[in-house]
Amino acid sequence: MEDQNQAKTNSESAGTSKFSWKIPEYHDYTRSRNWYIGASIVAILLLVYSVWVANFLFGIIVIIAGVTIYYMDHNKPQVIEFDITTRGLLVGDKFFEYDEIANFFIIYEPPTVKNLFFEFKNVLKPRINIPLEDQDPVAIRKFLKKHLLENLERKGEPISETIGKMFKL
């Protein structure tokens, strides 16, 4: 009940919605049997290495990563509402004011990459990657430039995103 009240409070204090669309909670990759065999071999080798160097924390991290990938693969991502408002971003039930965000950038290379990225001032908050779907990137860029700095140095997708796609993570 408290989560519903918090979501209602967030949407009420978020300001007027300017752009809104639905996005998946995370990218749902289709992984083949060979992918699982390869990932299992790598995980076993990493576990053997963690025992060999007596770094048990690393072994625990490998196990947690494996469980997380298994969980994500056997549960479909929820579809959440994404809103760009006059006061910030509303991602599902989480609201981020423009003051919290350092900058944004758009990588638009259809048909493979059509994403909007937000980087936070707090380095502990991860970058947000929002698929643009069928939205007009020019109109979104024009609106966001009124509230945020645009990172024009970013010319391509971040390496972490590229690696994630390559290894289907």
For 9, residues 6+ apart whose C-beta sits below 8 A from its C-beta are: none
Which pLDDT score, from 0 to 100, does residue 3 have? Answer: 41
Quickly state the pLDDT bin for 169 (edges 50, 70, 90).
low
Average pLDDT, the chain: 85
pLDDT tens per residue across span 87-130:
999 998 899 999 999 999 998 888 778 899 999 999 899 999 99
Question: Which residues, at least 6 apart from 107, have a Cβ–Cβ distance to it below 8 Å?
Answer: 113, 114, 115, 117, 154, 156, 157
Q: What is the pLDDT of residue 62?
A: 94
Tell which wins on pLDDT, 54 or 5: 54
What is the reported pTM?
Answer: 0.75
**Residue 157 in this model has a pLDDT that exceeds 90:** no
pLDDT over 50 at 4, yes or no? no
pLDDT at 27 over 50: yes
Q: Inform me whether the pLDDT recorded for 9 exceeds 80.
A: no
Res. 5 pLDDT band, cuts 50 70 90: very low
Q: Given this model, what pLDDT does residue 60 score?
A: 96
pLDDT of residue 11: 52
Task: Say what percent of the chain tops pLDDT 70.
Answer: 92
Fold of 2-27+77-166: PH-domain like (2.30.29)
Domain ranges, ordered by start, for the chain: 2-27+77-166, 33-73
CA distances to 109, 126, 140, 149 from 113, rounded to whole Å, are 5, 20, 16, 21
39: Cβ contacts below 8 Å, ≥ 6 apart: 66, 69
